[in-house]
Structure 1
Amino acid sequence: MSRQIAGFELRLPDSWWAVPTEAPESVPEWARSTAAALVADVGTSGGHDVAPDELADEIARQLEDVARAVAETGIPGLVTAVLVRRPELGVVDAMVTVTAQQDLAADEFTAGLAAAVEESDEHDYAFAGRFDGTVAAGDVTGLHAMITHFGELGEDGSGTLEERVVLGVFPAGSRDMVEVTAVARSVGTFEDMPQEMLELLEGLSVETETA
């Protein structure tokens, strides 16, 4: 008998921080307090001539931007986290969102990703490749992509590149899946983004129940 997802939890490793997107009114205060704590932990600006309060303000702004972007998707129940490896640099390195999807098989999921790449009018894909793996929560398959944004020109006048990973986790015996989307601040943020996202998903636990 098929099982359905009853809930899931993503345990975050060091340098990852959960974003309280389920309570938008709490985000500004959360962003300020989290940024202040991050900057206080490092103690200095790492050799950069930036005052701690300026660093905290910049990180807080980026944290709020992430929360706002997630809210604008209109998708309820998105579990969201951000990666801040070196607070002294004043940047958020990546964001990840996690959500459960009902009645979506692996072949349907990968076909949808392939169609999105081939038929997209919104994005110009400089690279798109399939990625497969396995974690404790189930088999993993998805897409590793480099997306060119021509509306955000770089210093040389070329489009800027975004690195993104979209993965599906398929618990054994379940007709449902968990969809994970990760976006890096820039290409080069990760040495191997798909592999590092797979390692992040080692902290994913999924509860299923009889459908």
Structure 2
Amino acid sequence: MSDYMEVVAIVEGRTEQIFVERVLSPYLGNKNIFITAAQISKPGQKGGDVKFSRAERDIGRFLKQRPDIYVTHFFDYYGLKEWPALDTILNQSHTEIAQLLNNAAFAYIIQNYGDYQAQNRFIPYMAMHEFEALLFSDEIILADALGVDVGQIKAIITACEEPEKINNSRETAPSKRLNQLKLSGTFKKTTEGISIAEQIGVEKMRQRCPLFNEWLNQLESKLG
């Protein structure tokens, strides 16, 4: 078994790409896991509009290109419109939804790319409900960055119980809450969001976000 591994993460957009490159990559690099990010492909542009038909093409392409790398994805459940088993979601918990979508994607990729050791090399990850939920992992850092009272952040966490449970709607999704909390202008996730993520750090996110932590556990387990 190799003492290091390489991972390609297919991501939704620019913010997730920067997060992987600037926050996750140094953290995992210290564990000899070298991760790079590629935005989901689309003719004429990059990022956004996540559909499994597009994700599947990219996952398959990376599995075929190099037999020595692992492939994962980092997409938001919020706004997802096309995904295996998506139409079977009713009133499940956020954990059950993530597991359902990850398992369905895994089964599809195994069925279609089994000849490329997909069962061992593909690790799906659906973020609940979106990237911005991770920024609620440290109330003090987030409140300070937004210039608001920390009690406002704590009230959201108390109501939702944990960052990954901050709910999925046009008014209350994590990104919407950040826009509402900011006193002026809109919250810029590619700059402000990444800066906050760097201040919080991956370890604190892992402590507060079980699904995110499980994703990294799966990646780390591949190294042995």
TM-score range, shorter chain: under 0.3
TM-score, reference length from structure 2: 0.26
Q: Which is bigger in relative contact order (C-alpha 8 A, separation at least 6)?
A: 1
TM-score, reference length from structure 1: 0.27
Query: Larger % of helix: which?
Result: 2
Query: Larger % of strand: which?
Result: 1
